[in-house]
Amino acid sequence: MPRYPAYKKGVVDCTTPPDLNNVQGKSVVITGGASGMGEQATRAFVAAGAFVTFGDVNETAGRKIEAQLGSNAQFVRCDVTDFESQRELFRRAEANSPSKTVDVAIANAGITGADSIFYGEESGEEPQAPDFKILDVNVNGVIGTCKLARYYFKQHELTPGRDRCFIVMSSAAGYGDVPGGPIYMMSKFAARALMRCIRRTTFLDGIRACALAPWYVDTNLMSPSVVQHAKSKGVKFADAADAAGAMLRIVSDPSVNGRCFTIVNREEAPLGYYDMDVDDYPDGSRADEQQNILLSTSQRIQVRPEDQ
Ligand SMILES: NC(=O)c1ccc[n+]([C@@H]2O[C@H](COP(=O)([O-])OP(=O)(O)OC[C@H]3O[C@@H](n4cnc5c(N)ncnc54)[C@H](O)[C@@H]3O)[C@@H](O)[C@H]2O)c1
């Protein structure tokens, strides 16, 4: 029987540091682990005593980090848009981790850029077919990570020493309106949607899920011009290391399920992250009623797939 209970509303305290004893010995898969928040996560989980398998398309950076981290980390060249490439990432994580398990999967790899709905044509030109690269990485890639995580998690019993935790990288753009960026925005709403779906099957699957929705973080994601532009508007950037801290907080506490933490400048939160608490509706509201009906009908899990 899974030991994780069904999802319940409730804000997580993010002012106390994580208990890293609970992270020790876990086998952690991270996509996009060779730069930015993924790299910080790779380093932080290794420092906390986990075995980390990190994948990235940037092989040069990945190999360099692997060499620095020693035997508790392995790099696997992985393109999340290629399911077989992700399969190899998870297979190697299970095969080479001391525990022969996958306990935690962090779907972090992502890209951004100019939006092909808004840009790409001179005025008067017939439109080109949109570029789906952002969706391929940020949505299709994440679906692949989630599917493999579910399979590999279920290869081991859910016992007190083991975890089955899925973390997906959304964004402030998954919670707010971003003019001119519909495709990136859609991709990050999709990440949030995935977390909200998985948290509702936790009681069936024994898999918990959380999301991160970072505010601006100065990584390789955005071009120097975009970073400079945001800074010129007075935006206070968050620290990539605090995203890793938020992931450790989630992994260290098996009672945390179905929550989204934002990553912010430490002027706003003592550890650089807090529970956003915007993925539930007020008790008794119409939206809450509809939510409860959706939970009780749940046709996707109650009606046979061939009849849907
Ligand atoms: N930096 C921000 O302000 C910010 C804010 C909110 C959300 N995010 C999200 O956080 C995540 C991490 O971004 P970051 O800021 O650390 O950026 P980053 O560019 O520093 O790191 C992303 C990593 O993903 C890798 N990657 C890209 N495409 C890949 C693919 N197809 N397969 C495997 N790896 C791939 C890159 O090579 C890179 O190493 C992304 O999902 C991003 O959308 C970033």
Per-residue model confidence as pLDDT tens digits over 261-292: 999 999 999 999 999 999 999 999 999 999 99
Residue 303's pLDDT is 83
Active-site option among 7, 152, 175, 184: 184
- CATH code of domain 20-277: 3.40.50.720
CA distance 308 to 18: 42
Predicted confidence band of residue 2 (pLDDT cuts 50, 70, 90): low
Binding site membership of 62 for ligand 1 (Cβ less than 6 Å): no
Is residue 232 annotated as a catalytic residue, yes or no? no
Q: Say what the pLDDT of residue 3 is.
A: 80
Catalytic residue among 26, 152, 187, 188: 188
Is residue 41 lining ligand 1, measured as CB closer than 6 Å? no
Strands 165-169 and 51-56: unpaired
34 lines ligand 1 (CB under 6 A): yes
131 pLDDT band, cuts 50/70/90, is very high
Give the bridge partners for 168, in sequence order.
107, 211
The predicted pLDDT at position 35 comes to 98
Catalytic residue check, 184: yes
- Write the burial class of residue 297 (CB in 10 Å: 0-12 exposed, 13-18 middle, 19+ buried): exposed
Res. 119: pLDDT tops 80: yes
- Position 1 pLDDT exceeds 60: no
Count of beta carbons in the 10 Å neighbourhood of residue 268: 14
Q: What is the mean pLDDT of the chain?
A: 96
The response to whether residue 220 sits with its C-beta less than 6 Å from ligand 1 reads yes
Q: Could you tell me the pLDDT band of residue 125, with boundaries at 50, 70 and 90?
A: confident
Per the annotation, the verdict on 298 as an active-site residue is no
Is the Cα torsion angle 35, 38, 42, 45 positive or negative in sign?
Answer: positive
Count of C-beta atoms within a 10 Å radius of residue 86 = 25
**Phi/psi at 134 (nearest 5 deg)?**
-60, -40
Assess contact for 56 and 38: CB atoms under 8 A: yes
Ligand 1 centroid from CA 176, angstroms: 19
**What's the angle, vertex CA 263, arms to CA 257 and CA 267, rounded to 5?**
130
Least confident of 51-55, 140-144, 155-159, 191-195: 155-159
In this structure, the residue with its CA closest to atom 16 of ligand 1 is 36
Q: Quick one: what percent of the chain has pLDDT higher than 90?
A: 90
Q: Let me know if 177 is exposed, middle or buried by CB neighbors in 10 A (0-12, 13-18, 19+).
A: exposed
Strands (E), 57-162: 73-77, 104-107
How many distinct helices (H) and strands (E) make up the chain? 11, 8
The answer to whether residues 80 and 55 touch, using CB atoms and an 8 Å cutoff, is: yes
Is the pLDDT at 158 greater than 60? The verdict is yes
109 lines ligand 1 (CB under 6 A): yes
**CA 28 to CA 281: how far, in whole Å?**
32
Mean pLDDT over 59-65 rounds to: 98
Nearest-atom index, ligand 1, CA of 38: 16
Options 35, 97, 116, 170, the catalytic residue: 170
pLDDT at residue 237 in the model:
98
Q: Is the pLDDT of residue 75 over 60?
A: yes
Ligand 1 midpoint to CA 218 (Å): 11
Neighbours of 308 (CB within 10 A): 7
Domain borders along the chain are 20-277
**Mean of the pLDDT values across residues 165-182?**
97
- Strand order of the β-sheet with 51-56 is 73-77, 51-56, 27-31, 104-107, 165-169, 208-214, 260-263, 273-275
From 58, 111, 227, 233, the mutation candidate for ligand 1 (largest count of ligand atoms within 8 A of CB) is 111
* Mean pLDDT (whole number) for 1-9: 82
